[in-house]
Amino acid sequence: MMRFFKLDLTLSLKNLIPVIAFFGGFFWDALTIGRQINPSDLWLLAAYLLACGLILYWMGHRTNAHLLMTEMERLEASIRPEWQKKAPLFILQFLFGSLFSALFILYFKSSNHFLALLWSLGLGFLLVANEYIDHHYHRFTLTWALFGLCAILVLNFLLPFMLGSILPVWFYLSTLAGAAFTHYLRKKTPGCPGRAWPVWVIAGVLSLAYFFDFVPPVPLVERDMQLGLNLEKNNGEMLISIEKSPWYKPWRLLFNELHVPAGERVYCVSSVFAPRGISADLYHRWEHFDKKYGWQAVSRIGFGLSGGRQGGFRGYTYKQNIQSGEWRVKVETEDGRTLTVYNFTLYTEPLSDTHLELRRL
């Protein structure tokens, strides 16, 4: 009975090791990645990726060496402790868990509209799936695909940061570079284990997703966005007067409503974070909903961005003599990539039970 209990406990602990490795990688990133996307975060991800590549190379070398062994050498190898055989897989799972959790956190920070959120949820699915496919990591085709996806996503962040630009060409080039790096590493690994073609499929799918605005314009992060009636600048800070509903009408907190006297200005202020060195032109696209034609662009007004400020770079635009109805303001890049969308309903008459509150950005 005692021997059975010890055996069962040993098996349970072995089953827990992959789970511990997975959650260890996730919580490590939760502790090390801050509220902003810092250069240290990106270089840390690059180090994780390099470590994954080295482990994959070593696993390929070990597999190839095993095929060339004599019967006696294989017998000697079979009696090695189990942890020596499994350790590279556990380390690889920890690193993949760290990479997917970090990329999920970073992409989620950059995703503030529906399509981009779907992309982030896809990364979240891979984050969870990583815990269940650890026993398949010895299948090199799958492992190369996961490694290639991580390489592409890391370079999607790293290349714009290094070049100080978010032009679409850098996304496509970084995607190509990630797939090419994976293909090259697989070719150089002894025995060329597995296949690398799925990585090229992933690169093609990501390029299409970026073209159709499913992928957020990384590494930009929308920190805050407010609409109000008055805007003041004081000692480098912006103060905007926003509408605050009374406490006895809590249902109005669920809707973005703005009551504007006729002829008054409506201000929109955005706070966008970018890593130091990134510069870009952003735009507010003001759109009004027409019952017959749908969303119609009214104006597209630009403002500059220079990365590095911890609270985010602030930019604002305004509209005057604005008509009532359903409105939305999109924050987008010069080439039309959506960073976030703010929907609101505008009324051209003030309410007696609504007062204005100053909000600092």
Cα–Cα distance between 206 and 215 in angstroms, integer?
8
pLDDT exceeds cutoff 90 at 184? yes
Q: How far apart are CA 219 and CA 275, in angstroms?
A: 7
The answer to whether 202 touches 148, Cβ cutoff 8 Å, is yes
- Residue of 332, 327, 318, 223 lying closest to 283 (CA atoms): 332
Q: What is the pLDDT of residue 66?
A: 63
**What pLDDT band is residue 297 in, cutting at 50, 70 and 90?**
very high
Both structure tokens of 225: 């966005």
Domain borders along the chain are: 2-211, 221-360
What gap in Å lies between CA 55 and CA 138, rounded to an integer? Answer: 12
User: How far is Cα 185 from Cα 284, in angstroms, rounded to an integer?
Assistant: 43
CATH superfamily of 221-360: Macroglobulin (MG2) domain (2.60.40.1930)
More confident residue, 176 or 61: 176
Contact 102, 29 (CB under 8 A): yes
Could you read off the pLDDT of 163-173 as tens digits, one per residue?
888 888 999 99
- Quote the CA–CA distance of 131 and 96 in Å, as a whole number: 10
Query: For residue 2, what pLDDT band results from cuts at 50, 70 and 90?
Result: very low
Higher pLDDT: 229 or 122? It is: 229
Q: Contact, 280 vs 305, CB < 8 A? A: yes
Digit-coded pLDDT (tens) for 68-116:
556 665 565 566 666 566 777 788 878 887 887 777 777 766 655 555 4
Neighbours of 304 (CB within 10 A): 10
Measured distance CA(116)–CA(114) in Å, rounded: 6
- The winner for highest mean pLDDT among 2-6, 107-111, 193-197 is 193-197
* Tokens representing residue 136 in the block: 């398949």
Measured distance CA(262)–CA(100) in Å, rounded? 50
